[in-house]
Amino acid sequence: MTKKETKNKAPSDTVETFLIPPEVSYVTKTLEKSGFEAYLVGGCVRDLLLHKKPKDWDVTTDAVPDEIQALFPDSFYENTFGTVGVKTRALAGTESTEHKESVAAGDPTLEIVEVTPYRTESEYSDNRRPDAVSFSKNLADDLMRRDFTINALALKIEPMAGDKTGLVHKGHLTDLYKGQNDLAAKILRTVGSPDERFGEDALRMLRAVRFAAELGFQIEEETQKGIQKNAKLLEKISAERIRDEFLKIITSDQPMQGLQLAHDLGILKYIVPELEEGIGTEQNQAHAFDVWEHLMRTEQHSADKKFSLRVRISAIFHDIGKPKSRRKDPTTGQWTFYGHEVIGARMTEKILTRLKFPKKLQDEVVKLVRWHMFFSDTEQITLSAVRRMIANVGADLVWDLMNVRECDRIGTGRPKANPYRLRKYKSMVEIAMHDPVSVGMLKIHGKRLMEVTAMSPGPRVGFILHALLEEVLEDPKLNTAEHLEKRALELVKLSDEELRKLGEKAKTRKEQEEEKMLKEITDKYHVE
Q: Are residues 198 and 309 part of one domain?
A: no
The pLDDT of residue 3 is 38
Q: Is the pLDDT of residue 308 over 50?
A: yes
Q: State how many domains the chain has.
A: 4
Examine residue 2 and state whether it is found in any structural domain, yes or no: no
**pLDDT at residue 217, rounded to an integer:** 96
Q: Is the pLDDT of residue 173 over 90?
A: yes
- Asked, for residue 6, whether it belongs to a domain, the answer is no
Single out the residue of 474, 456, 476, 464 nearest to residue 503, CA to CA: 464
Do both 228 and 265 map to the same domain?
A: yes
Indicate whether 502 belongs to any domain. yes
Same domain, 237 and 319: no
Position 5 in a domain: no
Are 295 and 369 members of one domain? yes
CATH code of the domain containing 416? 1.10.3210
Residue 104's pLDDT is 43
- Assess whether 376 and 487 both reside in one domain: no
Count the neighbouring beta carbons within 10 Å of the beta carbon of residue 476: 9
3-class DSSP string for 27-62: HHHHHHHCCCCEEEECHHHHHHHCCCCCCCEEEEEC
Q: Which of 433, 457, 482 is the last residue of a domain?
A: 433
Mean pLDDT of 204-228: 97
If phi over 0 gives left and psi between -120 and 50 gives alpha, with beta otherwise, what is residue 441?
A: alpha
Per the CB < 8 A criterion, the answer to whether 119 and 142 are in contact is yes
Please check whether residue 486 lies inside any domain of the structure.
yes
**The pLDDT of residue 375:** 66
What per-residue confidence (pLDDT) applies to 421?
78
Beta-bridge partner residues of 61: 38, 117
Q: Which domain holds residue 51?
A: 11-185
Distance CA 26, CA 109 (A): 15
User: Residues 429, 451: one domain?
Assistant: no
Which pLDDT does position 114 carry in this prediction?
Answer: 93
For the chain, percent of residues with pLDDT exceeding 90: 55
> Do 181 and 194 have their domain in common?
no
Q: Classify burial at 317, counting beta carbons within 10 Å of its beta carbon; exposed 0-12, middle 13-18, buried 19 or more.
A: buried
Residue 352 confidence class, pLDDT cut points 50, 70, 90: very high
Find out whether 217 and 211 touch, Cβ atoms under 8 Å. Answer: yes
Radius of gyration of the chain (CA): 31
Comparing 3-7, 225-229, 282-286, 493-497, the range with the smallest average pLDDT is: 3-7
For the chain, what is the total number of helices (H) and then of strands (E)? 24, 14
**Distance between CA atoms of residues 202 and 217, nearest Å:** 20
The answer to the question of residue 140 being in a domain is yes
| Average pLDDT for 50-57 | 92
Claim to verify: residue 308 and residue 424 sit in the same structural domain: yes
Q: At 15, which helix (H) or strand (E)? A: strand 14-19
User: Looking at the structure, do residues 119 and 223 belong to the same domain, yes or no?
Assistant: no
What backbone torsions phi and psi does residue 512 show, to the nearest 5 degrees? -65, -40
Dmax over Cα atoms in the chain, in whole Å? 97
The residue from 416, 433, 450 where one domain ends is 433
Position 3 in a domain: no
Q: Residue 45: count other Cβ atoms within 10 Å of its Cβ.
A: 27
Mean pLDDT of 430-449: 79
- Say what the pLDDT of residue 13 is: 59
Q: What is the mean pLDDT of the chain?
A: 86
In a domain, 4, yes or no: no
- The CATH number covering residue 110 comes to 3.30.460.10
Q: Mean pLDDT over residues 230-250, rounded?
A: 96
If asked whether residues 136 and 234 sit together in one domain, one would say no
Closest by CA position to 102, among listed 45, 54, 140: 54
> Final residue of a domain: which of 433, 464, 494?
433
Task: Verify that 97 and 192 share a domain, yes or no.
Answer: no
Q: Per-residue confidence at 397, pLDDT binned at 50, 70, 90? A: very high
More confident residue, 133 or 436: 133
| Mean per-residue pLDDT, 435-456 | 84
Q: Is the pLDDT of residue 103 over 60?
A: no
State pLDDT tens for residues 6-22. 343 445 556 688 989 99
Q: Tell how far CA 434 is from the center of its chain.
A: 28
Domain with residue 244: its CATH number is: 1.10.110.30
Is residue 70 pLDDT above 90, yes or no?
yes
Please report the beta strands in 235-392, taking only residues with DSSP state E, as ranges in sequence order: 327-328, 335-336
Shared domain for 37 and 149, answered yes or no, is: yes
d(CA 54, CA 107): 11
Share of the chain above pLDDT 70, in %: 87
